[in-house]
Amino acid sequence: MADFRVVISSPKDRKAYQVEISGAEANKFIGKSISNTIDGGVVGLRGYTLQIAGGTDKDGFPMRKDLPRGQRRKILTYAGTGYHPKDKGQRRRKTVCGGEITANICQINATITKYGQKPVADLLGSKKEEKEE
């Protein structure tokens, strides 16, 4: 069984919400890759559509869309996910994961592409905000 922390970004509100899922809901993510869309009901957002934007594995290595499968690899890169050079043309060998979600992934980043009836804050609002009110 896989356990995931899903970080959901709402471009309309410019906020991010964090949801932890496990069991059957988590298994729906396995085999999906970056830029796939999923139903928001899996994370408690009925009527919403989410797009997978990336993530990290259990050791903190980022996922890259251009690598197949979910294996960890050492690649020579000049820019992009996992490396931001200071000088133009600088390259470096970095360890990154592939773009497919496997059991080794612990965090999944997702973006809302289609909004539902209720606001996101009502469905996923943090407990901290509820205590303040």
Whole-structure pTM value: 0.84
Whole-number average pLDDT of the chain: 88
Q: What is the mean pLDDT of residues 73-93?
A: 89
CB 61 within 8 A of CB 94: no
| For residue 3, pLDDT beyond 90 | no
Q: What is the mean pLDDT of residues 59-72?
A: 89
Tell me which DSSP letter residue 42 carries: G
Q: Quick one: pLDDT at residue 71? A: 87
Sheet hosting strand 3-10, strand order edge to edge = 15-22, 3-10, 105-114, 49-57, 37-39
Q: Quick one: pLDDT at residue 18? A: 93
| For residue 79, pLDDT beyond 90 | no
Confidence of residue 130 (pLDDT cuts 50, 70, 90): very low
